[in-house]
Chains A and B, each alone.
Chain A
Amino acid sequence: MTLSSFGAPFLPEIVLLAAVLLIFLLDVLKVRRIELTGGIAVAATLFALGLIVADLGFAPLAFLSSIPSSQIDQLPAVGAAPLYAFTSLGLVFQAIFLLAAFFVCLASTSRPSDERGSPIFYGLLLLATIGMLLVAIASDLIFLLLAIEVTSIASYLLVAYTRKDVRGLEAAMKFFVIGALSTVLSFFGASLLFGAYGTTNLYLIREAGAAVGYPILVLLGYGFLIAGLAFKVTLVPFHAWAVDVYDGAPDDVSAFLAGGTKKIGVFAFFLVFLGPVLVVGTVGQSGYGLFGGSVALGPSFQIALGAIAVLTMTVGNVLALLQKEMKRMLAYSSISQAGYMLIGIAIGSAPALGGATLQVFAHVLMKTGAFLVVGAVAALGVGPLIEDWRGLGLRRPLLGTSFALMLLSLAGVPLTIGFVSKFVLFSAAVQAQGWFIWLAVAGLLNSALSVFYYARVLKVMFFDAPPVPSSPATTGVMGAAGPPVLPVGGLGYGRAATIAVIAAIIVAFGIYPQPVLGAIQAAAYHFVTVGA
């Protein structure tokens, strides 16, 4: 007897929605203690995560399985236009999204317990998560774009939820304006596709493409779609908002935006360009491109995506080099990491897709963790500049070591998950041969470049003498939440536990990646071969 016998395929989303309603209800009743609202959010994300993992075939949790396995990785009947479809890769992404949400929820319970904004924060965060989960099951352009919109609107508000912090408000404004622009571009692209084929369903678009070919309208449509989605993934030159937003938003929100929400764009790219919906040809063959057949437009898209990938990696890294502020450095590093993921999309083979997914997983851990550490360090009264972190690794060895592990993983040092994901991704590029090898070369050079600025932080943290103690708490944690009332030297259990767990996972999967790597590769294989 499993949950699937009740016929509840949207159970994770329903659980989260129920949690949101409960949190807002309690807010009306003036029950706002962060331990309670945070606890509800943590429980809801953890339970939803369990549901997803069960659906992925994790045997010990099989009783939680809510989607019959016969519904996963299946093509719809010919001519049918379903709004959503379950793919195992989509479930993997759902799990990754929920993991990011879970980490942020857990860490945020360590904020001051009398903070008034906590119901808003957790409610919005869970709403954004629901949108992310919906992205991962979309099979229709409109469904996909609306799901992205759910996430986006919730995240605009999240950036400004403290309401009093001027920097947060400014960041939210920028985020919103650019976000609106890219939404317009995406929907315009979708409407062009509709104009060409008379449908927005991704399955039907593929069938129509095979039947009537690819008029110029389609090309334009996809171009606008790329531009719209590139905003989400922070690809250069659609990235400029990200730095100001990650910098201006409260630390926990930055962790969620950089670690979580931007990944929905990656999966949207998967769906639009590579998924079961559009793939033609067999795995690993040159026909996996969008437009197999006589018109050589698929490879043209690969070249465009590859160029954007190289541009994104390089610009992100170069700009990160001279950053003086920790959060801005991490923001640029986040941009360059998005370039690595795009490599996998440009190649499009199953191993490359697996590598990109693993990179997403790794980045969720590394970047969420890194921003959470920034929040924790700010809570300790350390300033926002990198040089303010002098000697931190010695004064707070555990925190410093965790952060060092995250940075080493970002740099791709062996025995961390960041190394494994880059190794898998680059070897997929080498396997694909042709000009894709140059993507691997560009990626490697960029990794080398990135070591510069990560190593500089390590040097500052572990080899420079700590600054003379100044007046504590010059920087407020969580923006307008005021000076931290945490006990001296304490990070709070939730935050400390989250950071430690993330660091442990980074190393554990760096040493023994096969469990997660195997699951992801199998899912990626199904994703590109179903219907082939």
Chain B
Amino acid sequence: MILGVLIALGEMWSPGSYTNVQFTWLHLAPAPGPFPNGLSLVMGTLVDPLSSLMLVVVTVVGFLVMLYSIGYMHHDHGLPRYYAELSLFLASMTGLVLANNLLEFFLFWELVGVCSYFLIGFYYEKPSAASAAKEAFLVTRVGDVLFLAGIFILFSTYSLAGPVGSGGWAANGFVFVQGSTAVPFLATAMGGHTTLLTVAGLLILGGAAGKSAQFPLHVWLPDAMEGPTTVSALIHAATMVAAGVYLLAITSVFIGFTPADQLAIVAIGGFTTFFAATMAVVHPDIKRVIAYSTISQLGYMVLAIGAGFAMVGLYHLFTHAFFKALLFLAAGSVIHAVGTQDLFKMGGLKKHMRVTAAAFAIGGLALAGIPPFAGFWSKDDVLSAVYSQLGSHPLYWPFFLLAFAAVFLTAYYIFRAWFLAFSGETTRDPTLPAAHEGPWVMQVPLVILSGFAVVAGLFVFLPGFQSLLLGGAGVAGIPPTYGTTDLLLSSVSVGLGLGGVGLAWSMWGNGRVYALAETSPVQAVRRLLLNRYYFKVGYDWIGLKGVYTISRAADFFDRFVIDGTIRGLQRMFAFASNRARALQSGFVSDYAAYVVAGLLGLFVLLLIVGPYLLGRLGGG
């Protein structure tokens, strides 16, 4: 962790510097044929503004979550497994951040995916946890397959079309080109292949959507809350889900997206932002509210990257990692204290858990985008970044408005959660145990993260941090304007945020319970939201009817055609093996006869078969 921070500090002092250490892992010599440049696979580490920013997030949050786990997890069994998996996750995540080529990136990408699977299913004896783990794995896998296909397209397109012996991007095995000159690389190197590039970009977007739980692959993240809350904080809020955003960022910086890709990214990001926020509005489970909020916030990052501001997206990622980890850990503290995740069974916890209540409030304010908390600065940067690009495509408008509306919803739902949990009188459910704060190892991370949630946004006023952001953003070729956001835009968004908080207070504050009349037409909307727009039902239907039918057919094919063939082959080879064994008589004279026969056969090959075949083939 300390190393990660040091690297980031070093990066601040020498902005825009690139350190690339690599070695050739496997190299095939150049030869005529499909790979005129030879095939070279490289492993290496690349430290640049993007990765150093991510490195700080991963190591700091990782460290704090580890510390917090000591208190949170102490009564669980299977702790060695827990810490081993968490460490493997952190190692993979660091590797992913530092990877200097897409292939290596993909390896670590899969590793964090499998760690996520392990950790969601940590309570594997619980059926819901086991199935949530499976769901997360399968849904992200859909994205992974798309991502891999994207890599293949990029690779083959470049290998075939790239200049021979140029030692360029794919010829060196997907290595991200150092420095800022070669950007966006493919856009310049492969002008004639825009369609393929667009397809590759869309496939990579698919991979990112799977990992970062963007619409329509968002379904797994709320269910992933079956894992321990620490895992939710680290993996499903701060780091792994951000890997998809990070992928989009590095792709946009090092490879470049076509305008069509950008529109798709903006559309998915903008829509997800609003779409996920609506679901968070009604949910009674404290962790799932935060999970929907994560999806929504990831949408902001994707939106910014789609608009061409990779570093703005990463900046929001940076601040979000701290305040969202804070929210999760605070929620974990609550769950630790009262033993339930149902918001309606809590209430009045403020009195017993002052640290947690304050931490959750700070996280909420940061999330709602109230100045001077961290979320304000980065969210405003995202909005103003997209605002500045509205002229480039008319279709950006609706998604910009959706993202703007989501600001209001965000403030509302997070404070609804706060009021339900912490304000009002005593515990509503008297059967729950008396609330108490966790041990110091749980409180310290809360305090530290609260500090970050307050000041992380202000980092942008540090010259070093700013140049770090600028160094990375300069690569993308668009000069950003950090800290000097559009005043009108900011005030509107702050107004919306405050409005959301106010609405939440008026409906849920001080122990009020807002009861919607059963007959109200709004009930239909509520049910729709509670059922997550029936997405899972739809996916289940597709899964059952569609995939099951296909797999029945595949099963039939497998059983009768493939197995049959294999069995037939096996019988054939067994027969041949038995027969051929008879030749191994043990008599030397037989062996000598084989040699002579072989010699004669050789001459037949050389003198008759070979020339005949060559004649047929046109002289070889």
Contacts and interface: CB of A to CB of B under 8 A. Distances in A.
Nearest to B39: A427
Interface string B585-620: 010101110110111011101110111011001011
Given A318-B580, A322-B577, A427-B39, A304 B32 contact: no
A178 B620 contact: no
Interface string A159-179: 000000000000001100110
Contacts of A178: 588, 591-592, 595
A423 to B, nearest CB: 8
**Overall SS of chain A's interface:** helix
Given A174-B591, A224-B599, A427-B39, A300 B32 contact: no
Which of A177, A240, A322, A433 has the most chain B CB atoms closer than 10 A to its own CB? A240
B578 interface: yes
Given A177-B588, A178-B588, A223-B603, A237 B31 contact: no
B592 A177 contact: yes
A318 B577 contact: yes
A224 B603 CA distance: 9
A280 B578 CA distance: 45
Interface in B245-279: none
A354 B601 CA distance: 29
Contact of B597 (A237, A304, A350, A517): A237
B591 A303 contact: no
Contacts of A226: 602
A22 B31 CA distance: 49
Contacts of B601: 237
Interface in A306-349: 307-308, 315, 318-319, 321-322, 349
Contacts of B578: 322
A237 to B, nearest CB: 4
A354 B28 CA distance: 10
A514 B584 contact: no
Contacts of B592: 177-178, 181
B354 interface: no
A238 B603 CA distance: 14
B111 to A, nearest CB: 15
A237 B595 contact: yes
A244 interface: yes
Contacts of A286: 620
Which of B32, B39, B595, B607 has the most chain A CB atoms closer than 10 A to its own CB? B595
B35 A431 contact: yes
B591 A514 contact: no
A185 B31 CA distance: 36
A303 B610 contact: yes
Interface in B38-60: 39
B598 A351 contact: no
B42 to A, nearest CB: 10
A525 B29 contact: yes
A297 B601 CA distance: 17
Contacts of A354: 29
B514 interface: no
Contacts of B32: 284-285, 431, 433
A473 interface: no
Contacts of A319: 577, 580-581, 584
Contacts of A350: 29, 31
A413 to B, nearest CB: 16
Interface string A416-438: 00001000100110111101000
B427 to A, nearest CB: 55
A428 B599 CA distance: 28
Contacts of B25: 512-514
Contact of B584 (A181, A240, A285, A525): A240
Contact of A219 (B590, B595, B607, B620): B607
A510 to B, nearest CB: 11
Interface string A234-245: 001110110110
A351 B34 CA distance: 14
B610 A223 contact: no
Contacts of A318: 573, 576-577, 580
Contacts of A518: 24, 27
A254 interface: no
Contact of A301 (B39, B591, B610, B619): B610
B33 interface: yes
Given A322-B574, A428-B31, A230 B598 contact: yes
A53 B301 CA distance: 55
A217 to B, nearest CB: 13
B9 to A, nearest CB: 32
B150 to A, nearest CB: 22
**Overall SS of chain B's interface:** helix
Given A174-B588, A321-B577, A424-B28, A300 B614 contact: yes
A303 B598 CA distance: 15
A514 B27 contact: yes
B595 A227 contact: yes
B583 interface: yes
B610 A431 contact: no
A303 B613 contact: yes
A296 interface: yes
B44 to A, nearest CB: 12
Given A238-B595, A321-B573, A420-B26, A284 B590 contact: no
Which of A283, A300, A435, A525 has the most chain B CB atoms closer than 10 A to its own CB? A300
Contacts of A209: none
Nearest to B24: A514
Given A318-B576, A321-B573, A350-B29, A300 B611 contact: yes
Interface string B395-439: 000000000000000000000000000000000000000000000
A343 to B, nearest CB: 15
B31 A284 contact: yes
B21 to A, nearest CB: 15
Contact of A227 (B574, B586, B599, B607): B599
Given A231-B595, A512-B25, A433 B33 contact: yes
Given A238-B595, A299-B614, A518-B24, A315 B602 contact: no
A430 B601 CA distance: 27
Which of B583, B586, B620 has the most chain A CB atoms closer than 10 A to its own CB? B620
A351 B584 CA distance: 36
B599 A185 contact: yes
A230 B598 CA distance: 10
A402 interface: no
Given A350-B29, A420-B26, A296 B619 contact: yes
B158 to A, nearest CB: 18
Contact of A514 (B23, B35, B577, B606): B23
Contact of B573 (A223, A296, A449): A449
Contact of B620 (A177, A296, A308, A427): A296
A351 B606 contact: no
Given A431-B31, A431-B34, A518-B24, A227 B594 contact: no
B464 to A, nearest CB: 37
Contacts of B619: 296
A220 B599 CA distance: 10
Nearest to A320: B577
A308 B609 CA distance: 13
A200 interface: no
Nearest to A222: B606
Contacts of B34: 430-431
A300 B588 contact: no
A237 B597 CA distance: 8
Contacts of B35: 431
Nearest to A231: B595
A152 to B, nearest CB: 15
Given A284-B32, A303-B605, 5 more contacts: A177-B591, A181-B592, A424-B28, A432-B33, A513-B26
8 contacts: A178-B592, A220-B603, A237-B597, A237-B598, A238-B598, A240-B584, A241-B591, A244-B586
The 9 closest A-B pairs by CB, nearest first: A300-B610, A299-B620, A431-B33, A237-B598, A240-B591, A304-B605, A237-B594, A322-B577, A303-B610
